[in-house]
Structure 1
Amino acid sequence: MNRVRKTFSRRARVATGGAVLAVVAVAGFGAVSANASANASTSTTTSAAAPAPAPARATTTSTHLTVDAAAKAAQAALDAAEKENQRVTVAVVDRNGNTVVTLRGDGAGPQSYESAERKAYTAVSWNAPTSQLAERLEQTPNLKDIPGTLFLAGGAPVTAGKAPVAGIGVAGAPSGALDEKFAQAGVDALAR
């Protein structure tokens, strides 16, 4: 028997190989798509189930200033500074160090914005006025290396039940003592 052996042209081999790859790709996509659909319907069914409550010992509650209270404190600090003709920026941060309110007084320097936020963050982080914390640097100088902090007078913590709930930072006056005096005026406004 004579067998006839045919050789395909290069073009025919490329076309055949391309067709085979296309079939494999479509089949693979269909399998992945079907699998994703099955997972989606399973997760939809699972998410419809009632959530399991977390045990009481696994959760915590924290207290935060309202936006209105933060704005009141910031305005009181700014007003105290303006009464003494000081051009400052006031920042109020929440317990987590996130800025809630920032008021930049007329004529306050550009550096005062970030400084006020960092003083507020430092005060709430350590639940102490930043003037006291600046004194601690003598015993522990590497405290100043903690990101986001500024160990200069001008920050005051706001507490509720002895726990820090916010920090008020003031920057821009010619001395940290004045900045801190104005920050404390913001804290005091919350007691009224």
Structure 2
Amino acid sequence: MTNTKHSKKKTSPRTRLLAGTVAAAALGAGAFGAISANAAEPARAPAAVTADAGHPRDLTRTAHLTIDAATRAAQAALDAAESENQRVTVAVVDRNGNTVVTLRGDGAGPQSYESAVRKAFTAVSWNAPTSELAKRLESAPNLKDIPNTLFLAGGAPVATKGTPIAGIGVAGAPSGALDEKFAQAGVAALTR
């Protein structure tokens, strides 16, 4: 066996800096190429999530009123009021009580906007016409203290298979019975 000496050559700081810069540039170019290649590929859709058929109680289906349907209902209610020379505001809210459409007829009073929205909210919240709910105040007067509700005739719920999906509120006619009649015209426009 022969003994050989391994000599270690010292590298200057300048050489190490240059070598490090070249290595970083090579890594950066490789990473850029990988990112560019990934960006060029079309995005894949995530795998479909399927529910275990053994747990249907964990899932619910809901129906939602589209903006087109809400507008059609509001216009039908407004047309019904105008055909009787009544100046009203019509509001349609979704299942969660959010205002979807509001139509203020020519000459409708300034109070009619808020009243129509609150009647629609009240109707969808209880899935009942507000004229029926107003009768409940006799036995439960504190109902009127619930925020954003209005227990006056003029609100009608929109339901599918018994489940409320929207509320239509009308305000501004000289009687709640007329307001509710016009709201029902909006509901009817959705069931034709």
Please say whether Structure 1 and Structure 2 have the same fold, judged by a TM-score greater than 0.5. yes
Structure with greater helix percent: 1
Q: Which has the larger radius of gyration?
A: 2
Matches within 5 A, 1:68-87: 68-87=68-87
Shift in Å at residue 50 of structure 1? 8.0
Larger mean CA deviation between 74-83 and 50-59 belongs to 50-59
1:68-110 Cα offsets, whole Å, 9 max, x none, are 1100000000000000000000000001000010000001011
Matches within 5 A, 1:1-192: 56-192=56-192
Shift in Å at residue 191 of structure 1? 1.1
Q: What TM-score, normalized by structure 1, do the two folds share?
A: 0.71
RMSD of aligned residue pairs (Cα, Å): 1.7
- Mapped partners of 1:139, 1:64: distance in 2: 33
SS in 1 for 2:61: coil
- Mapped partners of 2:119, 2:163: distance in 1: 18
- Mapped partners of 2:58, 2:73: distance in 1: 33
SS in 2 for 1:60: coil
1:136-159 Cα offsets, whole Å, 9 max, x none, are 000000000111100000000001
- Mapped partners of 1:178, 1:51: distance in 2: 50
Q: Which runs of 4+ in 1 moved over 4 A?
A: 49-56
Residue 36 of structure 1 corresponds to which residue in structure 2?
A: none
Residue 29 of structure 2 corresponds to which residue in structure 1?
A: none
